[in-house]
Structure 1
Amino acid sequence: MKQTARILSTYSADTFGVCSALYELGGMVVIHDPSGCNSTYTTHDEPRWFKEPSQIFVSALTEQDAILGNDAKLIADIEAAAKELQPRFICLIPSQIAHMIATDCRAICRILEKKTGIPAFTLPTNSMHYYERGIYFALQKLADLACQSLSESDAAPAPTAPDWLSEESLARFVQAKAPAPLCVNVLGATPLDFAMNGSIGSIRHWLEARGCRVTSCWAMDSDLDTILASYRADLDLVVSYGGLGAARVLREHAGIPYLIGLPFPQLQPIDTPSNAPSNALAGRPAYIIGETVFAESLARALEAALGLPRSPITAIVPMETDSELLQPGTLCLTDECELIPRLHEAGLIIADPLYEPICPPAAAFVPLPHIAFSGRLYEKDIPNLIEAAPFAAFVQKILRTLQQNDV
């Protein structure tokens, strides 16, 4: 049955994606929703909640407010909180009920701006889409704000079409900029996709080791002023679908080209006959389930490390994405009724542990937790695969699982 989760969990909602993307930027985010959604976000999806302060609120919409459209109370509450806390901005995002009763969030934001003098905006969320869509809208809005001071004459068209990240594709930009360092924005980084395990720091170090200087990270470890000034960068690196909208805005208005992908290590292929993964798979498909850029990049890196021919590992994307990010053969499957038949013949499945109940016993299942799917349940088990040692250990784990399952 379509759009029904009988066994599986569901991915974090678009409203939570907005909260995650804007968490560190000093703004106030108000989810217009009944009480409860904020606790779900903070206890399941936000590993920074107990370490870093942020201004994430819920409007506590009541049944009477919904029926009578009591926007005055919402405006008064936000105004009072904003005057006390003095956030850099106010972001009001609707959930299902606010969306269904057609709350005019844009009008409310205009009123709030006049009353508080603080920039206010809304984003088209409704809690019926997945988190990547919320990150996409939030970072796209930041890119719009960053480009406000630019005139049309300031922007020059980006000289190259977007490409996937590789040593060669990055080197072309580095050489063109030399001897000065290449200034790079990292777009689409939030804990929903990148656990607090050092992976963002590893991406920074990888870029710096190749002659780059990371000017901003949207939106982890960079403040709002840094992000708003990043239209001066030379290159954007899109590390998730959530960063694609911002990359397109910066390309159009600031002339910044972008690359797509994650720098997973390139290991020497395993060619020992007894360990040959191609023999263990025996022609059965291998799948990675996850966010588009992560899954596509990891699939290519694992193929090289395991000595497999090109594209035997297929990425399955169960959330919002864009055709620009999809490699040939990628599957966009959201519902259990679509996933179960595909997984039935699989020889290898790499996915969040909560996917295991719908995977066939004969398949080699290798868990790779994803906070946006299983929350903080397996947070401590998420490896930093950008680093060579954890990546090599993960490759060996795949080999052991294939051998144990005798696929």
Structure 2
Amino acid sequence: MHVLLIGSGGREHAMAWKLTQSPRLTRLSIAPGNAGMTPLGTLVALDPADHDAVIAYCKTEGVDFVVVGPEAPLVAGLVDDLASAGIKAFGPSRAAAQLEGSKAFTKALCDEARVPTAAYGRFSDAASARAYLEKTGAPIVVKADGLAAGKGVVVAETLEDALAAVDACFEGAFGAAGAEVVIEEMLVGEEASFFAICDGTTALPLGSAQDHKRAFDGDKGPNTGGMGAYTPAPVMTPAMEAKVMAEMIEPTIRTLAARGTPFTGILFAGLMISPEGPKLIEYNVRFGDPETEVLLPLMESDLLDLMLAASEGKLSGREARFADKTALTVVMATKGYPGSYPKGSVIGGLDEAAKVDGVTVFHAGTAEKDGAIVANGGRVLTVTAIGDSVAEARERAYAAIDRIDWPEGFCRKDIAWRAL
């Protein structure tokens, strides 16, 4: 079958790599993709925000199935528009994608489904939000309600920082995403990511990972989109995973189905494992990045087969199988990230890096220029290694990085320090 994959990051490179392993795939198109995906399929210069153009391509080229990687097209209703045009797609509807598109929506659903989460207040004006903060004090978390490209969350250690964050939201710092604000208690514990694939009524667990958000070693520096990850997360024992499925994932799926907006796709729960048990920090409605780059290399099941089953409501009785190993990925970013950074620096040694046993190099922000691979973003590469232990996987990943010739890039040297 002909599959169109939407997206251009490391997550989508890992998805493309895994999809090509399916015997059901005959042709893969990727829109818009990046330089690292060229060997896997045909790159198509489509803007995922232009739904009419995506639909026209599907009809002209005989696309059988569309897989949507990033959150923005899902929240914008791309899956709905494809369905209206008679094109099968993997991902939630616009209504169900509000789990990521609106933090206030998710908080209200948690109340209804009795999903454990942080205490919160939601506000549509600065005065009431500021009054709430004066009562609660700090530390506290201030979140713009909508999608803000990962920049709409402020962990405020002081009341002054919290008040400034509220003012920034209502003064337009995050555009329409900041028209409403959610203020949450600060949760204490260990963070983890948990994933499930859902068909509207059934959810299958896909495992856990731990991400590293801070830019520099020792969890210092500004927050980023993620500087590395590993799976499985030690804190997510089988008993903890079962608890998350029973107390969070399944009640959420039941509640959305009862509302008439069933959730189909990947449900990604950002968790805080607190002394009282797991609590939901947030939901995302797609695979994580860079978590995908460690989950999929361990997946033994056919990803395309599972996605098709989910889109058809046929996950019941199936399972997702994974190798009993550890996977770890290290993100290489352009110096200056997550602030301003230059583009166009040449990256060498990628073929040599990929020769390290158990290593796959996924591209997140690359382009091809004059026959060379160049950096075209902030997060540029994710170097993934598989091993029998965290220590072995980490040793392999950093051995591969040592072979990459990119003076303008940097990475953290302590990925998985918690596990070790």
TM-score by length of 1: 0.29
Max Rg structure? 1
User: Would you tell me which structure has more helix in proportion to its own residues?
Assistant: 1
User: Would you tell me which structure has more strand in proportion to its own residues?
Assistant: 2
